[in-house]
């Protein structure tokens, strides 16, 4: 059995103390900044027309909404002979959903304590609506920019989907079920996941192109 002498214990205790002090300094710098950011949404005036509109719009980011929209997107891609893209989109959605689910459980941040103007369950951080819509609509934006040739349709479609992402994220703050930092974190994580799966899609395209070139040479 290994014995630890007093000198080693002193060194270990000093290292633990330094680590805890570093963590406290990080928290002292970050936590107040996040709290100030989240207070920006305090005192939002709620008009019935906007509340009703956002209550409907926010349904697109629910689990059922994402499933329906993803199914329609995959069906459309399959119909237009974009089977590779449809598979990558399905994997991106499944991976993102599992990631945001695990992060919510791990961080376990309670939702805002004020009045909620829509139904919500589970923990608050990060926003699943913001993350999933960023991945889903962001993937479609990428395909529009790559595949659509007409500038009006390409720019118009991209801007419309971008606006949709932002409005769904805003709806979670406006309806009182998320903090601003929850939504911003959801956007950031969604962009990271989106970037990874776009790189995977590009790698698959290069691999298939290389395979076809090798076959033609033979």
pLDDT, tens only, 192-209? 999 999 999 999 888 877
- State the Cα torsion 188-189-190-191 to the nearest 10°: 50
Is residue 124 within 8 A of residue 108, CB to CB? The reply is no
Half-sphere exposure (CA, 13 Å, Cβ side) for 117?
21
Tokens read off for 149: 């040739």
| Residue 117 phi, psi (nearest 5) | -105, 10
Question: Could you tell me the pTM of the whole model?
Answer: 0.83
Span 111-163, pLDDT tens digits? 998 888 898 989 999 999 999 999 999 999 999 999 998 889 999 999 999 99
Quick check: 11 pLDDT over 90?
Answer: no
Identify which of 205, 128, 129, 112 has the alpha carbon closest to the alpha carbon of residue 165.
129
The pLDDT, as a whole number, for residue 217 is 60
- Look at the block and give the residue holding tokens 């369950």: 121
DSSP string, 72-84: HHHHHHHHTT-HH
Q: Is the dihedral of CA 79, 83, 85, 86 positive or negative?
A: positive
Quick check: 21 pLDDT over 50?
Answer: no
DSSP string, 186-200: HHHHHHHHHHHHHHH
| Residue 3 phi, psi (nearest 5) | -105, 145
The pLDDT, as a whole number, for residue 117 is 87
Is residue 118 within 8 A of residue 177, CB to CB? The reply is yes
- Hey, which bits of 9-50 come out as E strands? none
Please report, for the chain, the start and end positions of each structural domain, with discontinuous segments joined by +: 51-211
The pLDDT, as a whole number, for residue 9 is 46
């Amino acid at each position: 059995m290994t014995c630890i002498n007093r000198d080693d214990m002193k060194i270990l205790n000093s290292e633990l103390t330094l680590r805890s002090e570093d963590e406290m300094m990080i928290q002292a710098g970050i936590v107040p900044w996040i709290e100030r950011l989240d207070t920006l949404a305090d005192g939002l005036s709620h008009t019935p027309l906007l509340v009703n509109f956002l209550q409907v719009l926010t349904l697109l980011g629910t689990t059922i909404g994402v499933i329906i929209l993803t199914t329609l997107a995959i069906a459309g891609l399959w119909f237009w002979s974009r089977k590779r893209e449809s598979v990558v989109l399905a994997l991106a959605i499944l991976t993102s959903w599992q990631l945001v689910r695990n992060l919510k459980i791990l961080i376990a941040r309670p939702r805002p304590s004020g009045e909620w103007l829509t139904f919500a369950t589970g923990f608050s951080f990060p926003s699943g609506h913001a993350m999933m819509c960023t991945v889903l609509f962001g993937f479609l934006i990428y395909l529009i920019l790559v595949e659509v040739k007409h500038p009006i349709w390409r720019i118009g479609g991209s801007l419309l989907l971008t606006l949709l992402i932002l409005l769904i994220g805003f709806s979670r703050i406006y309806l009182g079920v998320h903090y601003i930092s929850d939504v911003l974190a959801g956007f950031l994580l969604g962009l990271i996941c989106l970037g990874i799966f776009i790189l995977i899609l590009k790698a698959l395209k290069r691999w298939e192109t290389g395979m076809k070139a090798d076959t033609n040479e033979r």
